[in-house]
Amino acid sequence: MLRILGGSLKGHPIKTPKTLATRPVTSLLRKSMFDTCQFFIENARVLDAFAGSGAIGLEALSRGASFAYFIDTNPIAIRCIKENLESLKLSAQARLLKQDAFQFLETYEGDPFDILFLDPPYPIGLPGYTRLIEILSSSKAVIPSSHIFLEAPSKLSLPLPEKRKSSGTTLYMIRPS
């Protein structure tokens, strides 16, 4: 069972979707990412794209983020995120959208996000990750000071000019430097 790792809700359980289409982020990777953003998470606007259980956005809210968007297309994941938000009493700090994350990033017109967590399903392959990076370069969801965490298999040769970290078989990028 997944649990919130830190912040005001530390230890609370997180439901995960009962579907093979969702691959939860490991606790080790979540810890690594949140250790990285501990100094800029407070009052941040967060995007949890390809959200699955919503564990990343929930963790961000527990650690002081002011608001989180959760984006996923899977109805089972959407229901799971909604239940997690309600059980943790975080619904007022969140927006949950059943939408394709690529489309969301291409058409987004609101205030930019301080932190973007993107964990696409690995089957999108190099073409999907390349497309996602291209979309991010022109999306209104991103500004130069936005921090982007993109989880991808470390074996992919992604065109990432930004700072990179890896945890086991997973690569994630963060920006700015």
Amino acid at 62: S
- The pLDDT of 119-142, averaged and rounded, is 87
**How close are the terminal C-alpha atoms of the chain, in Å?**
34
HSE at residue 40, side-chain half, CA atoms within 13 A, is: 17
- The pLDDT of 77-94, averaged and rounded, is 97
Q: Dihedral sign for Cα 70, 38, 4, 20, please.
A: positive
pLDDT at 69 over 80: yes
Q: Which pLDDT score, from 0 to 100, does residue 163 have?
A: 55
Reported confidence tier of residue 30, pLDDT bands at 50, 70, 90: confident
- The pLDDT of 81-85, averaged and rounded, is 97
Reported confidence tier of residue 165, pLDDT bands at 50, 70, 90: low
Of all residues in the chain, what percent carry a pLDDT higher than 70? 83
Question: What are the domain boundaries of the chain?
Answer: 40-174
pLDDT at 161 over 90: no
| Domain at 40-174, CATH homologous superfamily | Vaccinia Virus protein VP39 (3.40.50.150)
Task: Judge contact between 105 and 49, C-beta under 8 A.
Answer: yes
Reported confidence tier of residue 87, pLDDT bands at 50, 70, 90: very high
Task: Judge contact between 168 and 152, C-beta under 8 A.
Answer: no
- The pLDDT of 137-161, averaged and rounded, is 80
Q: Which pLDDT score, from 0 to 100, does residue 177 have?
A: 42
pLDDT at 46 over 70: yes
Taking all residues of the chain, what is their mean pLDDT, rounded to a whole number?
Answer: 86
User: Rounded to an integer, what distance in angstroms lies between the CA atom of residue 129 and that of residue 22?
Assistant: 17
- The pLDDT of 140-161, averaged and rounded, is 79
Burial zone of 18 (CB within 10 Å; 0-12 exposed, 13-18 middle, 19+ buried): exposed
